[in-house]
Amino acid sequence: MGEFPPQKTQKLPETSVSVRLELHYPLELLQCFFSRHGDKQLSGFMGANSGIGFATAEGLASRGANVYMVCRNKERGEAAQSKIQSDTGNQNVHLEVCDLSSVSDIKSFASQFSSKNVPVHILVNNAGLLEHNRITTSEGFELNFAVNVLGTYAMTELMLPLLEKAAPDARVITVSSGGMYTTPLTKDLQFSDENFNGVQQYSQNKRVQVALTEKWAEINKKQGDWILFNAPSLSGKLRTNEEGADTIIWLALQPKEKLVSGSFYFDRAEAPKHLMFAATSGSHAVIDSIFESLKSLSSISA
């Protein structure tokens, strides 16, 4: 099997890592993956009607995956579904409607989808939100936390039975953000400070996602045979949506033995989870408490 081709880089600020611009995959790798799993349905869940989620869904669909897009807005979801089907020629692109800020909606979706008895090989947790004002959901949760943390936790936990059906090659990819480098982990998940700061809350949410991935990887060593990763979201001025989706697609297609469960990946390579002197590494000690809090808030028995 050939190696991935060398990639050009673009210089970024010193706190960042290089951006690679040549985004293509060796055909032999894709043929190996899909021929080895030709009798399976490579299924992905994500916030997928725009941005990196759309680019990821389209990239996987173009490689023959059976994609399940999970979107809150039915009309936008249908438009994205139709465009991906048209652009890729893959009709196995399905739309599921679910409000990922609502635990009850996620539970309802998971129950209905489980009845399809479809193994899930790739779960991409891409839905994300940065709301600058404090908004409380109908279930009583701060909105950023509800989407970025509690929704990610609930979706992953409820999909575990379907991921286990797809073992040993099932994987969960959670799309994080470089903003997490600036923020240590705390037990204050819903930003109790009356001076609400949406950017700080978003960064904190993304740090929680990284710690959750570590925790799930630790649990999985004892209980299962699926792997978990984080990949940062960097679109906009730094890169296109397709470039932002590149590492996500790469993680979805790589052979399991070439990857490290629980790791943070950037530009197709493991990346550090903490910056020097950022005082974030020791904060992960509170993840057990956070994990129990999420279990209680979602009423999901992990």
Check if the beta carbon of residue 61 is closer than 8 Å to that of residue 139.
no
Q: Per-residue pLDDT for 41 more than 70?
A: no
What percentage of the chain exceeds 70 in pLDDT? 77
Question: How many helices and strands in the chain, by DSSP H and E?
Answer: 9, 9
Q: What is the token pair recorded at 286?
A: 């509170």
For residues 190-202, give the mean pLDDT. Answer: 93
How sure is the predictor about 115, in pLDDT bands with cuts at 50, 70 and 90? Answer: very high
* Pure H helices in 166-197: none
Instruction: Say whether 173 sits in a helix, a strand or coil.
Output: strand
Q: What's the whole-model pTM score?
A: 0.83
Looking at the annotation, which residues are catalytic?
202
Order of strands, sheet of 171-176, starting from the edge strand that comes earlier in the sequence: 122-125, 171-176, 227-232, 263-266, 269-270
Mean pLDDT of the chain: 79
Of the pLDDT bands very low, low, confident and very high (cuts 50, 70, 90), residue 183 is: confident
Say what the pLDDT of residue 219 is. Answer: 87
pLDDT of residue 293: 96
CA-CA-CA-CA dihedral for 115, 117, 119, 120, to nearest 10: -20
Per-residue pLDDT at 26: 30
What's residue 48's pLDDT?
Answer: 63
What is the arithmetic mean of pLDDT over 170-189? 86
**Is 37-298 CATH 3.40.50.720?**
yes
Q: Residues 92, 93, 99, CA angle at the centre, nearest 5°? A: 145
How confident is the model over 121-152, as pLDDT tens digits? 889 998 888 999 999 999 999 999 999 999 99
- Residue 273 pLDDT class (50, 70, 90 cuts): confident
- The tokens describing 144, both together, are 């950023």
Regarding predicted confidence, which is higher, 85 or 24?
85
Average of per-residue pLDDT across 99-114: 94
Could you tell me which residue, 16 or 240, shows the higher pLDDT?
240
- Distance spanning both ends of the chain, measured CA to CA: 38
| Cα–Cα distance for residue pair 216/204, rounded to 1 Å | 18
Please count the other Cβ atoms lying within 10 Å of the Cβ belonging to residue 18.
Answer: 14
**Phi, psi (5° rounding) for residue 225?**
-145, 50
On whether the CB atoms of residues 218 and 228 are closer than 8 A, the answer is no
pLDDT on residue 51: 84
Least confident of 32-46, 174-188, 229-243: 32-46
Which pLDDT does position 213 carry in this prediction? 92
**Domain range annotation of the chain:** 37-298
Q: What is the mean pLDDT of residues 208-212?
A: 92
